[in-house]
Structure 1
C-alpha cells in the first residue's frame, strides 16, 4: 500500500501547535480576524498573529497565538502560501468561508466538524501525526506511546531513504505530537468531570477515539450516522482527484483502505461505506455511479473526475452562506 509520506512533493511537519489541541472558538476568531484585516493588505493580515497585537486582540498568551494560527491553517480554514519559512499569502479558504462566513460560525452542525476533520487529516501537511494516525497506523487499539514509537520508526525509515536526510525531528517532539493528538479527539476527564481541554476540543465530539482505561485507546470504526452524505461525497471526489485522477473507476477496497481515503479518515467499516456508495449517484447528480456487476464492487465516473466541483456537494448544508459576487 502506498504511503504519502514517501512523496517528495508532500511537506511533513510535526509540532506547531505549541502542545495545545484545537479549542472551541479559535478557528472562528482566527477567520474573523483575517477577514477584518484583509482590506489592509497582506501586511495587515500577517499582523493578525503578531504576538504584540494578537495577545490583546485574542485574549490569549503568545504560545496560544501561534497555536491558533497553526490550527486555522492545518484545518483548512485559512489558506497560506509559505516559501522559505516566510508567509507570502494568508487568507480565508473556500471551506472557511462556507462555515465561518455565515453558514455555521459556531460549529453547531456535525457536518462542519467532519469537514474540518477531513481537511486536517486527509493529507500529511502541517499535521503529519494526525494524518499518520488515521491513514498509516494500523493498530485499532493503541496507546500514546505506541503511536509515537511507530511514527518515530517511520521517520527513521524516511531518513535512511534520504527523504528526511536533513530532518532534526526528535522523539520528544513526536511524543508531544502524540499527546496533542490524543487530546484533540478524546475528552479528558477527572474525578471532577470533563477537564477544560476536553471541553474545548471540538473534534472530541466526533467520537472517533475512545479511552479504554489504563492508557489504552481505540479507534471507533463504524457507520458514523452524524456524517452527512454531502461531506462523504466531497471527500470521495477530492480523494479521487488527488490520488487517482486518471482512473475511471475506484474499488471499494481503495475507498475503504487506501491512505487518505474516506474509509480511513472517517473510520467507516465496509458495510457502511457500501451503503453510502449505493447512494452516491443521487448525491452527485449521476456523475458517479455504484457498480457491482460481474462480481466487482466499485464506483464509476460518468464524467471526467477532474471536472467535478467537490465543494458544490456541501452547498446545501450552508444555505445561510452567500458567496461574495
Structure 2
C-alpha cells in the first residue's frame, strides 16, 4: 500500500520535467548527495518529486550491480514528445496511470475508483478513507497520514485562487487544468462531470491499458460506467456521456460497441500495445493543447 509518500507536497508545475531531465543524464541522480540542490528544492521536496515521477510511471527502480532509477518506456516517450508536459493529453494519461495503481498511490485509487459520492467535504473524505483502509489493509495507517493524503489530493486537482498573488505565491499543480475536482463557494468539493474536454484517443489508450493489465478484450457498458479503472470512475463520466464518447471512439479506433437488449459490450479489436498507440498519437498530433 502507498500512503503519505508525497512528503505533504502536491505535484508542482515543471517538477516532472526537472526530474526526467536529470534522470536522463544520470540514472543514479536521486542517490547523489547534492541531487536536491541541483533540483533547487529541499530534501523532502526532492523525495516528493521522485515519488510523483514513480507514481505516474515515468521512472522505475532497476537493480543491477547497484540500484538505479531509470526512465520507463513511457518516460522516454513523454520526454521525447512532450518534455515540458504542456498538453492535457499527456496529463490525462498520467492521471489515469496515477489513480489506477492501488498499491502505489492508494488514496488516489480509492478516491477515483471506490469513493462514490459526487459532492463531499474534506471531513467526509477522511472518514470514508479511514474506514476503507481498515477494511482492506492489515497494516495500520495513522489518521494524520490519511489527512495529509486527502489534503494533498485536493490540492493536486482543485484549481487555486491566483488573483492578486505574486509569482512566488503561485504554486500551481499541472493536474488543475483537468478540472476533475472543483471547490464550491462553501466548504464542499465536487467531482466534475462537465465543462472539460476529453480527447477520444485518451479514452482509447485507457481501454488499451486496462485490456493489457487485466488480459481482457471485452468489457460491458456497465463496467465502463461503474467499474474500477474504467472511464466512468477515472474521468467522472456519466452513462450518457460515455455512450456519446463510445460512438466517436469506435469511428476512429478498432473498438466495437455492440448494443443488445440484455448486454451492451465493448470489444477491443486490436493487438496494438498502448504505448505504441500513444507514441503514434504524438507523432500524428491527434491531441489538443
Instruction: Provide TM-score, normalisation by structure 2.
Output: 0.89
Secondary structure of the corresponding residue to residue 240 of structure 2: helix
Would you say the 8 A contact 1:13–1:127 is kept in 2?
Answer: yes
**Residue number in structure 1 paired with 2:71:** 92
- Superposition map of 1:68-83 within 5 A: 68-80=49-61
Q: 1:20 aligns with which of 2, 5, 9?
A: 9
Q: Structure 2 CA distance, aligned partners of 1:197 and 1:309?
A: 42
The CA distance in 2 between the partners of 1:97 and 1:140, in whole Å, is 36
Where does residue 193 of structure 2 map in the other structure? 221
The 3 A distance-change label for structure 1 pair 301 and 67 is closer
Q: Decide whether the 8 Å contact of 1:256 with 1:262 is kept in 2.
A: yes
When the two chains are superposed, the root-mean-square deviation of aligned CA atoms in Å is 2.5
Match of 2:283, SS state, is coil
The superposition leaves residues 210-261 of structure 1 with CA deviations (integer Å, 9 ceiling, x where unpaired) of 1013321000024742x22111101012223323x24x53111101111111
Gaps of 5+ in 2: none
Alignment map for 1:15-164 (pairs within 5 Å) = 15-37=4-26, 45-46=27-28, 48-50=29-31, 52-80=33-61, 88-101=67-80, 103-158=81-136, 164=137
Structure 1 gaps, min length 5: 1-11, 38-44, 159-163
The equivalent of 1:169 in structure 2 is 141
1:312 maps to 2:284: no
Instruction: Rate the CA distance shift 1:273–1:184 in 2: closer, same or farther, 3 A.
Output: same
Deviation for aligned residue 1:126:
2.1
Between the aligned partners of 1:124 and 1:267, the Cα distance in structure 2 is 18
Q: 1:92 to 1:259 in 2, by over 3 A?
A: same
| Superposed CA offset, 1:38-83 (max 9, x none) | xxxxxxx23x12473112211100110100000000011112358x
* Number of residue pairs aligned between Structure 1 and Structure 2: 283
Residue 261 of structure 2 corresponds to residue 290 of structure 1: no
Cα 1:281–1:235 change in 2 (3 A) is: same
Contact 2:16 2:49 in 1 (8 A): yes
Preserved CA contact (<8 Å) 1:18 1:66:
yes
Q: Please give the alpha-carbon distance, in whole angstroms, between the structure 2 residues aligned to 1:96 and 1:320.
A: 19
Higher mean C-alpha displacement, 289-298 vs 202-211: 289-298
Following superposition, the deviation at residue 267 of structure 1 comes to 1.1
